[in-house]
Structure 1
Amino acid sequence: MDRISKLRPWRLIGWGAAAALLLAPLVAMQFGDEVAWTGGDVLFAALMLGGGGLAFELAIRRRRPLAYRAAMALALGAAILLLTVIGAVGLLGSEANPANLLYLGVTALGAGGALGSGLRPSGMARTAAGMAAAQALIALAALAAGWGGGSSPLEILALNGLFVALFSTSALLFDRSA
């Protein structure tokens, strides 16, 4: 069995999961008024999931260790989750709080670091560590400046701590694969 046929089930599961995530809100809208996605919401989600999936496909195109693939999946998943959270509910108060836009810098740092490092494990480890640090600095700055927008300090620390942990774990896995 060659390498490509071994990966095919995982690729089908990954792309199937992305399609299911896109269809879930559309199905939910048929059964109640709690979910109200617009065409723009669906397009944004499709671009995030499709872009993340394509980035993962490109990153693992060459033979990579399991630690590298896990690190890439974790980093991309965390970045997609971060974008989803800031767009849907916000990390600092509601999604309308302009301070949430600072988190776009975390994902931009990740994209720039990935391109700049040529996806090499050591460069990706530094990139993911930088993303964790940026996430933490934004949270601390928000607390110091009072940008919480109604979120308690504990909520801000807990939610941001989750992302710091995800990006830090990704950095450790990239470092292990180097």
Structure 2
Amino acid sequence: MMITKNKRLLGIILTVVLILMIPLIAMQFTNEVKWSFPDFIVAAVLLFGTGLTCELVIRKVKKTGYRIAACAMVLTTLVLVWLELAVGIFGTPFAGN
């Protein structure tokens, strides 16, 4: 059972790294992608936090339907925060561009 938990944690870490590689590689080929070091840190915290929260839900919530709903809410929150930081859909002081 411990091996499965460690594999999922490793999977979360690898997924975050792979997702962050996308803008890093894109920056090498185009000027359209301009991420700074803090952008990568914020993205890593958001992605890793989302992964760990979904892992917590998977471990603690027993009913499958509730697991799916809780993880969907976590992922929806990630998307809304990401969009706000990127383009400012809500117009908060944290909005990008």
Q: TM-score, normalized by length of structure 2?
A: 0.76
Equivalent position of 1:67 in the other structure: 65
Distance apart, 1:63 and its partner CA = 5.3
**What do you get for the CA RMSD once the two structures are aligned?**
2.5
Cα separation, partners in 2 of 1:15 and 1:73, compared to 1, 3 Å: farther
> Tell me, which stretches of 5 or more residues in structure 1 are unaligned?
93-99, 103-178
Distance 2:35 2:45 in 1: 15
- Please name the residue that 2:23 is paired with: 25
Q: Secondary structure at the match of 1:33?
A: coil
Distance in 2 between the 1:85 and 1:76 partners? 14
Give the match for residue 143 of structure 1: none
Q: CA–CA distance in 2 between the matches of 1:39 and 1:29?
A: 12
What is the correspondence of 1:1-178 to structure 2 with a 5 Å cutoff?
5=4, 11=8, 13-62=11-60, 64-92=62-90, 100-101=91-92
TM-score normalised according to structure 1 size: 0.44
The percent identity for this pair of structures is 34
1:68-91 deviations in whole A, cap 9, x for unaligned? Answer: 221122111111111110111121
The alignment of Structure 1 onto Structure 2 pairs a total of residues equal to 92
Code of the residue aligned with 1:101 in structure 2: it is T
